[in-house]
Amino acid sequence: MNKIIAMVRKELIDAARDKRSVMAGLYYAIGTPLIMCGLFMVLIGQLTSPDDLKISITNPDKAPDLVRFLSNKGITQGEAGAKDLKAIELIISPDYAKQMNQGKGAEITIVADNSEEKLQNSIRRLEKQLQAYSAEMGSLRLIARGIDPRVVQPLKVNVHDQATTDSKGGMILGIAIFTMIYSVFISGMNLAIDTSAGERERNSLALLLSHPLTTRQLVLSKIIAVGLFALLGLVLILLVSKVAYTFVPWQELGFSVSITSEFMALMLLVGIPVALMAACLQLFVSFMAKTFKEAQSYLTMVLFVPLALSMAASYNIAPDVLQWLPVSGQQQALMDFIKGKDMNMLQLLVSTLGTLAIAVILALGMEKSLKSEKVIFGL
C-alpha cells in the first residue's frame, strides 16, 4: 500500500512538472462553462423578441386603430434605416376600411423571411397580436349583433403542464451534464498518455519496472493518479458552472438552470466510477499504442464511444437500452435528478457496476500486457 502511495505521489510530481500538457486538460474544465454561458447569453438576446419591436408598416393611416393596438403591445413603426428595425413588413391593404365596413376580411400582409431564426420569435409575436386583434373585433361584432361571443368558442382547452421551471431547462441541463462528463474524460487524458506512452518513450518505464514493485501496483497507482486528475477536472467544471450559469438570463426563456450543491455532490459521487473507467481506458489504449503520437490519435477515436453515449442521452434520442449502459445510464440518472423526477436507482446501479466492471477488465488487461516486453519497449 505504501508503495502505491509513493508511486501515486511520483506520478503527480511528474505531472506537475509538465504543466503545459497536463493543464491543457484542465483548461477545458474551466473554459467550457464560461464559453457556453457566453454563447447562451448572446443567443438569448437574439432569439427573444425585443420589448420594443420596430417593423415597417405600409399604409398605417388605413388602419389607425390596429396600429395603435399594436403599439400598445410594443410593436411600432420603425424609422427606415434605423439599426433596430427588423426586416418585417406589415402591409395594410388600401381597401382595408372598405372591406372592414362590408364585414369582409380586411387584408393584411406580413412580408418576412421565416427561415431567419433571429426573426422567428418576432414574426410569431406579430401574428399572435394580429390574431388577438382579429379575435377581439370578432367578439365585438358578435356583441353588436346581440350574441354572446362565448358561443363561438365551443372548446375550452385546459393545459396542465407537468414541467417545473427546472425541468423546462432540461435540454440545456443535458448539455451541461454532457460537458461535465466530457471533462472527466478530457482532464486526465494528457496525463494518461504522458504516464504510459510518454514514459515509455522517455525509457523510464523499464526503469520503473525494475524496482521491487508488482505490475499490479504500478498499474493501480497510474490509474489512481489519472483518476484523481479526472476528478479534479470534474470539481473545477462544477465550481465554474455553479457560478457561471447564474449569470445567464434563463428566465427570459421561461425556465431556470441552477447547479445546486446537492447536484454537485451527486455528480461527484457518480463521477468517481466514471473517472476510474476513463483512466483505465486511456491508460490501456496508450499502452497499446507504439508511440506518444499514436496514443493521441487512438484515444481521440476511442473516446468517441463514451461521448456518443453521453450525447445520445442528453438529447433524448437514445433507445431505452442506453439507460442501462455505462456513462449514458449515469447521465440519464443525473438528468432525472436535476429535473426533480425520481431517479431509477436500479438503472444507476447497473450502469455504475457496468462502468466499474469495464474498469476492472481493462486494468487486468493492462496488468497482463505489461508483463510482455513487446508492450514495455513498444516493439
261 binds another protein (CB under 8 A): no
**Interacting span for another protein (CB under 8 A) from 136-144, 206-214, 279-287, 295-303:** 136-144
CB closer to another protein out of 96 and 324: 96
Please identify which residue in 102, 109, 260, 300 interacts with another protein, judged by CB under 8 A.
102
54 binds another protein (CB under 8 A): no
Least distance between another protein and beta carbon 226 (Å): 38
342 binds another protein (CB under 8 A): no
Report the SS3 class of residue 367. helix
Least distance between another protein and beta carbon 141 (Å): 6
Please identify which residue in 229, 250, 284, 292 interacts with another protein, judged by CB under 8 A.
250
**Interacting span for another protein (CB under 8 A) from 220-228, 246-254, 295-303, 315-323:** 246-254
131 binds another protein (CB under 8 A): yes
**Interacting span for another protein (CB under 8 A) from 10-18, 40-48, 60-68, 351-359:** 60-68
* CB contact at 8 A, 366 and 372: no
| Residue carrying C-alpha cell 454563447 | 39
204 binds another protein (CB under 8 A): no
96 binds another protein (CB under 8 A): yes
Helices (H), 48-167: 64-72, 96-101, 117-144
68 binds another protein (CB under 8 A): yes
Q: Which residues of 354-374 are buried (b: 16+ CB within 10 A; e: fewer)?
A: bbbebbeebbeebbebbeeee
2 binds another protein (CB under 8 A): no
Q: Long-range contact list for 196-203, CB < 8 A, 24+ apart?
A: 196/222, 196/283, 196/286, 196/287, 196/295, 197/286, 197/287, 197/289, 197/291, 197/292, 197/294, 197/295, 197/378, 198/292, 200/287, 200/376, 200/377, 200/378, 201/291, 201/292, 201/378
